[in-house]
Amino acid sequence: MKQYVAEFFGTFWLVLGGCGSAVLAAAFPDVGIGLMGVSLAFGLTVLTMAYAIGHISGCHLNPAVSIGLWAGGRFPASKLTFYIIAQVLGAIVAGGVLFLIASGKVGFDVSAGFASNGYGEHSPGGYSLVSAFVTEVVMTMMFLIIILGATDARAPQGFAPIAIGLGLTLIHLISIPVTNTSVNPARSLGVAIYVGDWAIGQLWLFWVAPIIGALLGAGVYRYLECPCDEK
C-alpha cells in the first residue's frame, strides 16, 4: 500500500509542479519563466521525487512508464493496475488544487487551456494530429530508454534521478510547442478534466501515443541490453 501512496504523492507533485509552473508562472508579467522554465520545472519534479520516493515505489509517476517498465521486465504485472490508479488519482487531485489556486486570480479562464495537451488548433504551435502523435510516441520512447538505461544495474549508481530529470526537461524543451508535452497520460488527464470540452475530446491521443512509445522504448532497450551473442 505504501508504494501506491508514494505514487499518488509523486504524481501529485509532478502535475502541481509542472502544470503549476505553466499556469501560474510561465507568462507572469515581466518575470515569467517561459517555456524553458516550465521544462525545467517538470524535470525537477521527477528528479526530486526520484530521490524522495524512488526507494519506496520506483517513482514511476506515469502510467506509460509503468507499462514500459513492465514490458522491459522491470515491473510485475500484478501491481500495474494499482500503480496506474494511484497515478491518475494523484494527477486529478493536483489538478484540483491548481484549479483552486489559479481561480483566485481575477480573469482566470480555464477554457484557455489550463496546461492541457492538444493538437491542431489546440497545439501551442498549431501542429497537426500526425505531428502530435509522432512527437508523443518518439519522446516517450526515448524517455523509456533513458529510464531503463539509467536504472540498469550496470549504470553508475545514484545518478539515475539526474539523468531522468534532465531527460524529461529536454523532452519538454523539444515538444512543448507541438503538444504542450504529455509523455504521461496521468498528467494529461489531471488537467483535462477541469477544462472539459476539447481537452477531453483530444485526450485519447495522450494515452495511446505515450503507451505505444513506452512499449517501443522497452523493446529497444531489451535489445540493447542483451549480450551480443544473444541478439
Cα separations in angstroms, 67 against 77, 93, 174, 191, 196: 9, 22, 23, 21, 26
User: What's at 69, amino acid-wise?
Assistant: L
pLDDT of residue 227: 67
Each domain of the chain, given as residue ranges in start order, spans 2-230
CA distance 163 to 177: 23
pLDDT of residue 231: 45
CA distance 27 to 37: 10
Rounded to 5 degrees, φ, ψ at 201 are -65, -30
pLDDT of residue 229: 53
Q: What is the DSSP string of 83-141?
A: HHHHHHHHHHHHHHHHHHHHTTSTT--GGG-TT----GGGSTT---HHHHHHHHHHHHH
CA distance 94 to 1: 20
pLDDT of residue 22: 93
CA distance 159 to 230: 29
**Is the sign of the CA dihedral 66, 71, 73, 77 positive or negative?**
positive
pLDDT of residue 178: 97
Architecture, CATH, for domain 2-230: Up-down Bundle (1.20)
* pTM exceeds 0.75 for this model: yes
How does pLDDT run along the chain (231 residues), one tens digit per residue? 899 999 999 999 999 999 999 999 988 777 788 999 999 999 999 999 999 999 999 999 999 999 999 999 999 999 999 999 999 999 999 999 999 999 999 888 898 889 999 999 999 999 999 999 999 999 999 999 999 999 998 888 889 999 999 999 999 999 999 999 999 999 999 999 999 999 999 999 999 999 999 999 999 999 998 765 554
CA 151 to chain centre: 18
